Chain A
Amino acid sequence: AQKITQTQPGMFVQEKEAVTLDCTYDTSDQSYGLFWYKQPSSGEMIFLIYQGSYDEQNATEGRYSLNFQKARKSANLVISASQLGDSAMYFCAMGRAQKLVFGQGTRLTINP
């Protein structure tokens, strides 16, 4: 069975600092995808970044990067130069074929 663990229920960061959100996963599959989604207080789910299990380079999307360490089964999200608008819940998810398994999320608060 697949499992995602996010060990940080909440994080508080000063504006403009970088922040790392932790995500570890467990799977016996060789081919899988790792995703990060943002859920602001308005409730919608916003896709941020994707990493394939066979991708050799870490994924980047603007201020977001994914620190993928396959041997350690971790897929941490790094947000550079945090902004007030980054305050939200962040979910790590793992998928193979049609099914996504989500972690419990980390609530990120950016302080001015």
Chain B
Amino acid sequence: NAGVTQTPKFRILKIGQSMTLQCTQDMNHNYMYWYRQDPGMGLKLIYYSVGAGITDKGEVPNGYNVSRSTTEDFPLRLELAAPSQTSVYFCASSYSRLAQNNEQFFGPGTRLTVL
């Protein structure tokens, strides 16, 4: 199993550009998540999904959009990039609800810089 994979690993965007961060998991997990990690900080939840066709906002959703058309894929879309979106983005997945000891498996991250 590859686990959770993310592409690209690095990207530099100009202000106002758009891009999609790709995330794929091959563990047949129902739950998927997008986090951002600003320098020296912990992770903050952007969006999450409990299954194909179902998504919901996390703590910091503004400026982002998501979709979940398949169990495996959970892309994150930035429509109008801003310098405040410079961060490392992590995708994660889990089999079921957190409170039942189902850890989240993280991808390697995408380092995004907006200039």
Please report A residues at the B interface, Cβ cutoff 8 Å.
4, 31-33, 35, 43-45, 47, 50, 52-53, 91, 93, 95-105
Residue of B nearest to A9 (CB): B40
Query: Which residues of the other chain, B, contact A45 by a CB distance below 8 angstroms?
Result: 43, 90, 92, 106
List B46-100 residues whose CB lies under 8 Å from chain A: 48, 50, 56, 58-59, 88, 90, 92, 97-99
Count, chain B residues at interface, CB 8 A: 26
Q: A43-B88, A47-B103 are in contact. Are A99 and B48 (CB under 8 A)?
A: yes
Residues of chain A within 8 A (CB-CB) of B88 are 43
> How far apart sit A97 and B56, CA to CA, in the bound complex (Å)?
13
Instruction: Describe A's contact surface by its main secondary structure.
Output: strand
Contact of A104 among B40, B58, B97, B98 (CB under 8 A): B40
When distances are taken between beta carbons in the complex, the residues of chain A under 8 Å from B40 are 104-105
Partner of A100, one of B41, B50, B104: B104
Of chain A, the residue at the smallest CB distance from B109 is A43
Q: List 7 A-B contacts (CB under 8 A).
A: A95-B99, A98-B33, A99-B98, A100-B43, A100-B104, A104-B41, A105-B40
